Chain A
Amino acid sequence: MRIFDPHIHMTSRTTDDYERMAAAGVRAVVEPAFWLGQPRTNPGSFADYFDSLVGWEPFRAAQFGIRHHATIALNPKEANDPRCRPVLDLVPRYLDKDSVVAVGEIGYDSMTPEEDEAFTAQLAMAVEYELPALVHTPHRDKAHGVKRTLDVVRESGIDPGRVVVDHLNEVTVAAVHDSGCWMGFSIYPDTKMSPPRMVEILREHGLDRVLVNSAADWGRSDPLLTLRTGEAMLAAGFSDDDVDLVLWRNPVAFYGQSGRLDLSDVADTGPLFEGSSILRGGS
């Protein structure tokens, strides 16, 4: 099984995770810029964070044979802090970097006017820099948040085929399916989605425009739940090719729209990587 995790916050994970991911077949990841638990209070903190997402983290991932790309944005939660608003002036420079494959995570947290403004401005950046957009949906008041998200996406003029609306579930999937946007699902140990529930959604809504991610971060989460979802699909009667579509070809197709996805080292269909045996370079 070859796996592309289209949403995972590797900055918060250890080298043990990288080893287990490589051994499980994870060959590529996209790390969206988001919040870090502890709120930041100035744009310089974001500059260092963004530098890490296009610098140190890809270097670290490469030690384990994993290709790392990023998405860059001012996230909705911190968009509410006036001290962080100048981050919107930093974002465009990062959108020109080779390893940045989308604008994100953008969208809503509490649906404030400040979030509206940052969301709209950054959708416009996605259009200007010809990048896809990764849209976070709120964990509270989600159904309302998703509806409002789709309205804003529609008004922005961006092609819905270049937008993924993330963290969906049984209640919110249909509206996004009908909008033409891609559907993102985060598989978590307790919250969000589980592998068996994900399989049911795939049965009902099909495999097209679906991205399955672990969204693993600094909270309780598991970077191998992409693999577990693939295993649950096979157990439920989906084919190897179905699993490859959802866990590899779909994310390649979505982020490939950036024209910047570089999988030259990892895209072959050969045998799986074997943990630390693929270590290379560095100390």
Chain B
Amino acid sequence: MEQNAWLTDAVARVGADPPAIVRAFAAAGRHCPDVIGARTRLLRALPADVLPHWIDDLYRHGDPNEKLAVLTALPLLPLGAEAVPLLHDAIRTNDTRLLTAALGPYARNLDQHAWRHAVLKCVFLAVPLTNVHDLDQRADRELAAMVAALRAEREAAGRQLPPDAHRLLDRIP
């Protein structure tokens, strides 16, 4: 219960004084067992007009777990496409947790070219495709061609694509 008291107090402080989110966001894991949930609540406590600024700041200065919390919270926040640069950053990393988190529901704001390359990177790194939001709806023939080309490279080298990539190819008409 003490953990909830910490979060309640932190949420109130962030609502009244947005810069207070810097230390609260970093420390949340040391006070709350559900750290993603706690960090989401802190983000939701921010006034809407300063939300884009703090999303960017907390992601840029965050450790991987903080970045992960920001990416996970994006679809739950009153945002337009402002946070797309964060997705580009996450997709550039080789941290598979961030790559996965970048392909959640907020990825609807990614253009199709960037989205295809992110999915292809998942296949390349053997990141499971189950967490790619709207995969079947969005997968197109160009993605299929890219995955098939990777399969040809792998097979030429005597290696295989992950099974979920084969299943994806089977599903694309």
Contacts and interface: CB of A to CB of B under 8 A. Distances in A.
Nearest to B24: A96
Given A59-B95, A260-B30, A283 B126 contact: yes
Interface stretch (B61-69, B112-120, B132-140, B150-158): B61-69
A98 B65 contact: yes
Contacts of B124: 283
Nearest to B35: A98
A259 B96 contact: no
Interface-central residue, A58, A96, A99, A259, by most chain B CB under 10 Å: A96
B23 interface: yes
A97 B125 contact: no
A281 interface: yes
Contacts of B27: 96
B40 to A, nearest CB: 17
A119 to B, nearest CB: 24
Interface in B43-68: 61, 63-65
Interface string B12-34: 00000000001100110110000
Interface in A256-277: 259-260
Interface string A41-61: 000000000000011101100
Contact of B30 (A54, A55, A259): A259
A17 to B, nearest CB: 19
Contacts of B22: 93, 96
Contacts of B95: 55-56, 59
A57 to B, nearest CB: 11
Contacts of B94: 56, 59, 282-283
Contacts of A58: 64
A98 B29 contact: yes
Contact of A282 (B26, B29, B65, B96): B96
A256 to B, nearest CB: 14
Contacts of A282: 94, 96, 125
A8 B27 CA distance: 26
Interface of A: 54-56, 58-59, 93, 96-99, 259-260, 281-283
8 contacts: A55-B95, A59-B95, A93-B61, A96-B23, A98-B26, A98-B63, A260-B30, A282-B96
The 7 closest A-B pairs by CB, nearest first: A96-B26, A54-B63, A283-B125, A97-B63, A98-B29, A55-B64, A59-B95
